[in-house]
A and B are shown apart, each in its own frame.
Chain A
């Protein structure tokens, strides 16, 4: 078990090194100059050159890369060119809405997708299966921005149940801030539940045709026990992966949804940073998101080992 953990951790370091390299050079490949963008059309070439020197942008790219890596290893993601503060601080300020949005969305998606998948596998081919499959198809194909606008129109504007947009005042109590997340999390949860439904259904169908399900029935167990304990206990294993991947993707910032609901999250931060060519912010955000992505995958693997004794043994 620990062996497994350490091996995964080593792999993680390699992945992160690759990610850091990619992120740095991809960002530099984009045309445009942050100094020129900041100073506007009227700036003279000398002004721009001076500003470039302040941020070290006048040095060769490889030197910049080396300096950046050195700082990263010390835990310093650098200084935002545009926001006038450390990247770490900028990320921390934006982390809360993104974190809670991802958490609630995944919870909603799993709470819809897993039961729906089980029900449609158990009653395969029946009306309930057809309804669930149709709904899953529908929700997978609805654009989240459109569903978001629809939700705002009805739940916020017409019925005043939830706020239209934003994340409340920074000083507002946590519960008040979270109230702003109900609509966007429901939208993302619905849209993401489709994949989980399909995976759960397929996995359950697989398991339900296994020999050991017949064994469980031959013991005289109630059908509920057969489905829940014997079938779902096994079907869960691939479902965990999908839920984990969904979570990991959402941490990267649900950019469209954050924009529709005006949430000051990581997705929003990255979009504006890209528009301003704010290299340190783009790089820092991507590195952190990639690290979380890899970490979630590590957690998924650990859950795997916990659920499946065969993985544990390896």
Chain B
């Protein structure tokens, strides 16, 4: 059985984050469901990894598990490791840490920004206070030093007139500005890992580009790693060094961004790529149509989860689930990837 956890996990310095065969389960009234199975991914310092997949593929659940923010008491890590290298160069397994131990890492060494800037900030606290809260907690600043630090954070994310806007409440700002505040908040203690969960999905297209540029600039300046969760491959091409594609709770492909866009190994990734407007093929009438991916994910366990929707499906795909196999510089979960290459 050739189970591969991403080979680049063992570079000289060791990765910042190595998620190893992680499964996340939820207790429900009618038993336990496991929306994330055997997910492995790695992330090095200064790198941007895009975690791509459709709604319900488990990408947000994976990121919440890394942050230790799974909804309690229903959600829990049922197996696997999340190795994280702390600032003190110690490697800890986040999956084993208690909620309280995680607190010292959250906001300090790892931070997260969310999809909905309109609802992700507390409406009754000023934005300055919301940033100050985390700085006070982790860096122990107070008084003028604290104010100066908060203002510097707002300057960093290019909020004009920061000194004055510190006293604004979230409802006084636009969506794009609020997302900048969220980024300032996440960056406030200079984390080494930033998890961005679809941070541009709720924004206008022009604002989206600005936010992407901002995140990328901050990554370059601080050397932090970014785990960028998205369903938008257009965004991936702009920002990611590597891509991990999730489908039905599993990783189906990991690859460097450029090779992936040239030739993906997994049929699902290829289907996603052909959904990009720029790649739509002209039909007989000369119109370029988007290609929808038909059907629903299959039931886990019996067969390849993509089999019901896969254009290349064969008998073997229906008999057992495929394992993750190593490719050139990546991995893929498909029986036929060599045939299709």
Q: Write the residues of chain A forming the contact surface with B, with a CB cutoff of 8 angstroms.
A: 210-212, 214-223, 229-230, 233-234, 307-310, 313
Among the listed B103, B122, B125, B171, which residue makes an inter-chain contact with A220, where contact means beta carbons less than 8 Å apart? B103
Are A307 and B124 in touch, CB under 8 angstroms?
yes
Structural contact, B69 and A212, CB atoms closer than 8 A: no
What are the residues of chain A within 8 A of B108 when measuring CB–CB?
A: 220
- Chain A residues positioned under 8 Å from B138 (CB to CB): 220
Are the C-beta atoms of A215 and B121 separated by less than 8 Å?
yes
Q: Which of B104, B116, B172 contacts A211 (CB 8 A)?
A: B116
Chain B contributes a number of interface residues (CB within 8 A of A) equal to 32
Q: Known contacts A211-B114, A223-B99, A313-B172: does B106 contact A218 (CB below 8 Å)?
A: yes
- A sample of 18 cross-chain residue pairs with beta-carbon separation below 8 angstroms, ordered by A number, consists of A212-B123, A214-B120, A215-B122, A218-B67, A218-B106, A218-B107, A218-B111, A219-B106, A219-B134, A220-B103, A220-B108, A220-B137, A230-B122, A234-B123, A308-B123, A309-B124, A309-B169, A309-B171
For the complex, give the distance between the alpha carbons of A230 and B171 in Å.
16
The listed residue (B69, B119, B124, B171) touching A313 by CB distance below 8 A is B171
**Are B114 and A308 closer than 8 Å at their CB atoms?**
no
Nearest chain-A residue to B169 (Cβ)? A309
- The majority secondary structure among interface residues of chain A is helix
Flag if B169 contacts A310 (CB, 8 Å): yes
Task: Check: B182 CB closer than 8 A to any chain A CB.
Answer: yes
The reply to whether A310 and B122 form a contact with Cβ atoms under 8 Å apart is: no
The answer on a CB contact under 8 Å between A218 and B112 is yes
Q: Contacts A211-B120, A212-B120; is A221 near B133 (CB within 8 Å)?
A: yes
A221: chain B residues at CB < 8 Å are 103, 107, 133-134, 137
Say whether B104 contacts A220, CB under 8 Å. Answer: yes
Kindly identify, within residues 63 to 122 of chain B, every residue whose CB is under 8 Å from any CB belonging to chain A.
67, 69, 99-100, 102-108, 111-112, 114, 116, 119-122
Which 3 A-B residue pairs are closest in the complex by CB-CB distance?
A220-B107, A220-B106, A219-B107
Q: Any chain A CB within 8 A of the CB of B24?
A: no
Flag if A219 contacts B133 (CB, 8 Å): yes
Q: Beyond A211-B119, A217-B106, A308-B124: 6 further Cβ-contacts under 8 Å? A: A215-B120, A215-B122, A221-B133, A233-B124, A234-B123, A310-B171
Q: Does B304 sit within 8 A of A, measured CB to CB?
A: no
- Which chain B residues border A214 with CB–CB below 8 Å? 69, 114, 120
Q: How many A-B residue pairs have CB under 8 A?
A: 76
Taking CB as reference atom, which chain A residue is nearest B188? A219
Interface contact A212-B185, CB-CB below 8 Å: no
Q: Which of A210, A215, A220, A308 contacts B105 (CB 8 A)?
A: A220
Q: Which residue of B lies closest to A218 (CB)?
A: B112
In the complex, what distance in Å separates the CA atom of A45 from the CA atom of B27? 82
A212 and B125 alpha carbons, distance in the complex (Å): 11
Give the distance in Å from the alpha carbon of A218 to the alpha carbon of B111 in the complex: 7
A220, B134: Cβ atoms closer than 8 Å: yes
Q: Which residues of A lie under 8 Å from residue B182 when comparing CB positions? A: 215
Distance in angstroms from A119 CB to nearest chain B CB is: 16
Q: Which residues of B contact A310 (CB under 8 A)?
A: 123, 169, 171
Contact residues in B for A234 (Cβ distance below 8 Å): 122-124
Minimum CB–CB distance for A164 against chain B, Å: 47
Task: State in angstroms the CA–CA spacing of A234 and B130 once bound together.
Answer: 14
What is the chain A residue whose CB lies nearest that of B114?
A211
Contact status B125-A233, CB under 8 Å: yes
B310 to chain A, nearest CB (A): 35
Residues of B within 8 A of A230 (CB): 122, 125
- Of the candidates B119, B169, B171, which one forms a contact with A210 in the assembled complex, judged by CB atoms under 8 Å apart? B119
Find the B residue at minimum CB distance from A231.
B122
- Given the complex, which residues of B lie within 8 Å of A217, measured CB to CB? 69, 106
Give complex CA distance A313, B116 in Å.
22
Q: Which residues of B contact A308 (CB under 8 A)?
A: 123-124
Residues of B within 8 Å of A216, CB to CB, are 122
What sequence of 0s and 1s flags, for each residue 152-188 of chain B, a beta carbon within 8 Å of any chain A beta carbon?
0000000000000000010110000000001001100
Complex Cα–Cα for A73 and B169 (A) = 43
B103 pairs with A222, CB closer than 8 A: yes
* CA A216 to CA B105, docked complex, whole Å: 14
Over the window 235-275 of chain B, the binary record of Cβ atoms lying under 8 Å from chain A Cβ atoms (1 yes, 0 no) is 00000000000000000000000000000000000000000
A214 to B72, CA, bound (A): 12
- What is the CB-to-nearest-CB distance from B121 to chain A, in angstroms, rounded to a whole number? 6
Separation of A313 and B124 alpha carbons in the complex (Å)? 12
Among A210, A212, A230, A307, residue most surrounded by chain B Cβ atoms (within 10 Å) = A212
Residues of B within 8 A of A307 (CB): 124
Within the assembled complex, what's the spacing in Å between the Cα atoms of A230 and B124?
A: 8
Could you tell me if A219 and B119 are in contact, using CB atoms closer than 8 angstroms? no
Question: CA–CA, A223 to B134, complex, Å?
Answer: 14
Give B131's nearest chain A residue, CB to CB. Answer: A219
CA of A223 to CA of B171, assembled, Å: 25
**How far apart are the CA atoms of A211 and B103 in the complex, in Å?**
18
Min CB distance B178 to A, Å, is: 11
- A309 CA / B108 CA spacing, docked (Å): 29
Distance in angstroms between the alpha carbons of A214 and B182 in the assembled complex? 12
Query: Nearest CB to that of A126 among chain B residues?
Result: B73
> In the complex where A307-B124, A309-B169, A313-B171 touch, is A218 in contact with B69 (Cβ < 8 A)?
yes
